[in-house]
Structure 1
Amino acid sequence: MSAYLNHLGLISPLGIGLDGNITALLSGQRGLTPADAALIERPTWVGQAKGELPQLPPALAHYHSRNNQQLYAAALQIDAPIQAALAQYGAARVAIVLGTSTSGIAESESALAQLEQGLPTQPNYSYQRHEMGDPARFLAELYQIKGPAYTISTACSSSARALITARRLLKMNLVDVVLCGGVDSLCRLTLNGFAALESVSAAPCNPFRAARDGINIGEAAALFIMSHNIGPVRLAGYGASCDAHHISAPHPQGRGASAAMQAALVDAQLSPAQISYLNLHGTATPLNDAMESQAVVDTFGAYLPPSSSSKALTGHTLGAAGALEAAFCYLLLQKQFNPMQHLPPQIGDGDFDTSLPALHWPQAGQSYPLKTAMSNSFAFGGNNVSLIFQGVEP
């Protein structure tokens, strides 16, 4: 039984809503800005979610966090179909599975700073906002959902794994509808943590370029409605692996990454030549881009699908990255949003790194026969996920 992505709510550094995101994505418009010194003392760029975030309903003010505000902004875009699903199937037959790596850490940072100065914390502050399960609890209370509701936190593959879990819940007939995706927000912990790993670039990041020297961190929320009801895009296959090569560094030959891509092709019953587009993990660190280039060549062989990394535009949105890039694939595969069937160009400064295995970079303005898209998400500890999406003809 197939699992379909029926609706999407989206907020990212490229914009609020679907139209703004696809327009910026296809034009190669960077959503990166210089980081505020309050977040990190060293120079870097960040991808901050666009627009003013909505205030939570007064009855849910105790859930206040920037993370939950972003999730709420995404949920409001698909509020009507969420309400329709609840009316049709009942609250016990709707589930929530989200991915995050920050949750409300930013609010805890502020609270701790105030306590250190002997000042009272904000009236709505609660340490529970800091817990990884908080976004799922918030969404469940917002819509009075009674089915399974939980959060997956496997670093940068978190929300990609949330989509896998959503499909499994449907396949097991535990629920009829799953609200799934991911959300992450900017905070000092992640920015300074990656800086301590010497992984943060002082300039806008440059995936796969010779001059690449690290990531930019971003924030986003992408929320899907997934069900067995035929929708515009099908989650055709997935693959997951954990090579556990190193706590933070990827396997240098990309063995786990390649295993995940190959497993996704098997699950989708597709050959490598049937993948129309590959959204690369492409963080712009020297090690990640090198191993992923090798893994792509090892997986696809002589046929290399057009490939690019959208992190040059949004930054690395960490726990939300898998869902955000799934959202980009969802939009690219629909003629409603991408009538000319263009692909995101690989934005960056300087020449591509010729020491890496050569990949197939999309040409701006060129049309491609888009039927399927693969999206890669690779995380700390060698936690790898590859998802395959298939457009459904209207």
Structure 2
Amino acid sequence: MSVPEIAVTGLGLVTPAGLTVTENWAALRRGRSLAAPDPELGSLPVDFSCQVPPIDADALLGRSRARRLDRFSLFAVLAARQAVADAALAPDDCRGPRVGVVLGVGSNSLATYPAAFGHLDDDRPGLVSPLALPRSVPNMAAAEISIDLGAEGPTFTLASACASGAGALRIARDLLRAGTCDIVLAGGSESGRSRMTAVCFHQMRALSTRRTRPEEASRPFDADRDGFVLGEGAAVLVLERSATAQARGAKSLALLSGCGASSDAHHPFAPRADGRVAARALRSALDDAGCTPADIGQVSAHGTSTRLSDAAEAAALTRAFGGTPPPVTAPKGVIGHCLGAAGAIEAAYTVLALQHQTIPPTANFHRFDGDQELDIVAGTPRATRMTAAISCAFGFGGHNAVTLFTTP
């Protein structure tokens, strides 16, 4: 029996690059970092981040609903609504047991709890909000999408650190291939702009400390990189079997043709320097899609802007592709590191690159310092003809997830 093709029929994006797909693509093409001083992080050693533009949640959702949602759930619901509209799905199309939701979230929210802990420290437990827990547990972003749309099918949350969003796409694809669902909304959502998150990453020496020039801080693969920049956001992709999409007259933006995964089995947060196991995930995605290295027109790299991670990824790409890999772009130069949502956001960007036949530039890249020389697209967008592109997502714990998209 042939394996059904899985089509991407809708995209929704809420990121520092904007609240719509159009705004995101325009910001990516400009290739300039969106890092700026962050009032939430004031007085900390690292006091800047990449922030989602202001959202009038009361107007969009109503005051009661907006109050109920933590930031990462708000992003997810708004991205899902966009994706559904983009896929030309009517409200009734999203209801019922054949519609699933799969989201990647790196951790629970660290923004809601400090107020609750403060009340406990003051010996005033009665002031702890009854919403503190349901606002904050990781599954609530997927749950809130399901509630908002009336989707009664399987609803999952995957936590694989910064590979979470990419892993969610694979689970969604498998639900469709198995015939469990007809439509799955898949992606990731996270807001890492909490003081606790910033302090923890700073103590690990993972964050850039360019406080005086934050717009130059996120610089994937650049010789002068010194750490990543915290970001936030969400991406939701509507996935359907191609035959189902065609039957309802839906457009196909791209095909999710290949997925690969592996685990470094090495260290809690440091990647394998030789990239050997990450390269296996890349080759698995190629094999899954029936593609050769020569078929790939672009790699959207994980590209965190940390010294260890970028070097290991460069090694993995060189191993997987043999010799010189395809042209590489790294969106975190523009939007920072959106943690558990990163893999989904950058997968959506890969779909846009295929649609527009354009590779967006990597912000702040000037020169490469590793043993492996990559073709980093920088400065201006690069127009190119391509039928396939890859998106990489690598997370703490050694989680490696790769998605491969092809033109319909």
Q: TM-score, normalised by structure 1?
A: 0.92
Structure 1 window deviating more from structure 2 (89-98 vs 259-268): it is: 89-98
What amino acid maps onto 2:37 in structure 1?
P
Look up the SS of the partner of 1:84 in the other structure: coil
Say what the alpha-carbon RMSD is for the aligned residues: 2.1
Distance 2:74 2:127 in 1: 19
Aligned to 1:197: 204
TM-superposed CA distance for 1:144, in Å, is: 2.2
Distance 1:205 1:67 in 2: 22
Q: Is the 8 A contact 2:15 2:232 kept in 1?
A: yes
Aligned to 1:172: 178
Look up the SS of the partner of 2:188 in the other structure: strand
Look up the SS of the partner of 1:16 in the other structure: coil
TM-superposed CA distance for 1:117, in Å, is: 4.3
1:352 maps to which of 368, 389, 405: 368
Aligned to 2:166: 160
Change beyond 3 A, Cα 1:299–1:82? closer
Change beyond 3 A, Cα 1:102–1:109? farther
1:238 maps to which of 252, 259, 271: 259
What amino acid maps onto 2:338 in structure 1?
T
Is 2:218 aligned against 1:218? no
Change beyond 3 A, Cα 1:219–1:365? closer
TM-superposed CA distance for 1:150, in Å, is: 1.7
Q: Is the 8 A contact 1:159 1:321 kept in 2?
A: yes
Distance 2:42 2:194 in 1: 6
Look up the SS of the partner of 1:4 in the other structure: strand
Change beyond 3 A, Cα 1:75–1:53? farther
Q: Is the 8 A contact 1:103 1:129 kept in 2?
A: no
1:71-86 counterparts in 2 under 5 A? 71-80=76-85, 84=89
Change beyond 3 A, Cα 1:37–1:177? closer
Aligned to 2:386: 370
Q: Is the 8 A contact 2:225 2:306 kept in 1?
A: yes
Aligned to 2:151: 145
Q: Is the 8 A contact 1:179 1:224 kept in 2?
A: yes
What amino acid maps onto 1:241 in structure 2?
S
Change beyond 3 A, Cα 1:80–1:199? closer
Q: TM-score, normalised by structure 2?
A: 0.89
Aligned to 1:391: 407
Q: Is the 8 A contact 1:35 1:43 kept in 2?
A: no
Look up the SS of the partner of 1:333 in the other structure: helix
2:26 maps to which of 23, 26, 31: 23
TM-superposed CA distance for 1:243, in Å, is: 1.8
Structure 2 residue ranges without an equivalent (≥5): 211-216, 247-251
Change beyond 3 A, Cα 1:81–1:280? closer
Q: Is the 8 A contact 1:53 1:70 kept in 2?
A: no
Change beyond 3 A, Cα 1:178–1:210? same
Distance 1:308 1:158 in 2: 20
Distance 2:133 2:110 in 1: 9
Aligned to 1:63: 68
Change beyond 3 A, Cα 1:365–1:246? closer
Aligned to 2:213: none
Change beyond 3 A, Cα 1:89–1:74? closer
Aligned to 1:300: 321
Is 2:70 aligned against 1:54? no
Distance 2:40 2:83 in 1: 35
Distance 2:383 2:206 in 1: 35
TM-superposed CA distance for 1:20, in Å, is: 0.6
Change beyond 3 A, Cα 1:81–1:14? closer
Look up the SS of the partner of 1:292 in the other structure: helix
Change beyond 3 A, Cα 1:30–1:284? same
Is 2:312 aligned against 1:309? no
Equivalences, count: 386
Structure 1 residue ranges without an equivalent (≥5): none
Is 2:36 aligned against 1:33? yes
